[in-house]
Amino acid sequence: MIYVAAYFTTLIVFLFADMIWLGTMSSRLYRPTLGDILLTDVSMAPAIAFYLLYPVGLVIFAILPALKSGNLSTAIFFGVLFGLFTYGTYDLTNQATVRNWTTNLTLIDMAWGGLMGGLTAATTCWIMTKLGFQI
């Protein structure tokens, strides 16, 4: 039960925060930088796959270790690293292969990934602890 609760809590927290980020930054950062290479409409299947898979990794690599240790700083530390590594893989690959991709976009998006991973992991652990879940 703890795994299911951790997954769905992570999914909700991550989705909520990332939708705020994308809603705010798409027109300010991504569209001006990437221009005509962006689709006009989001391709839903890969987007859904990402939002279903990312929380699994965050739960395995940051949230469960933090719940096991009982230490919120574990969630923050490993969440930041997970977000930095996953977003970094995406961003650095794009910078190496996509004509319009910039160093500025890479740095901002990687920083967001790290912040998002740490914030989501910490929030999920806090919620899980308040609900009485522990390993």
Domains of the chain, residue spans = 2-130
The rounded mean pLDDT for the chain is: 96
Least confident range of 9-13, 40-44, 90-94? 40-44
For the full predicted model, state whether its pTM sits above 0.75.
yes
Q: In this structure, are residues 77 and 114 in contact, taking their beta carbons and an 8 Å threshold?
A: no
Q: In this structure, are residues 60 and 121 in contact, taking their beta carbons and an 8 Å threshold?
A: no
Residue pLDDT, tens place only, 61-88: 999 999 999 999 999 999 999 999 999 9
Residue pLDDT, tens place only, 38-62: 998 999 999 999 999 999 999 999 9
Q: In this structure, are residues 4 and 127 in contact, taking their beta carbons and an 8 Å threshold?
A: no
Classify residue 87 as left (phi > 0), alpha (psi -120 to 50) or beta: alpha
The owner of tokens 């912040």 is 115
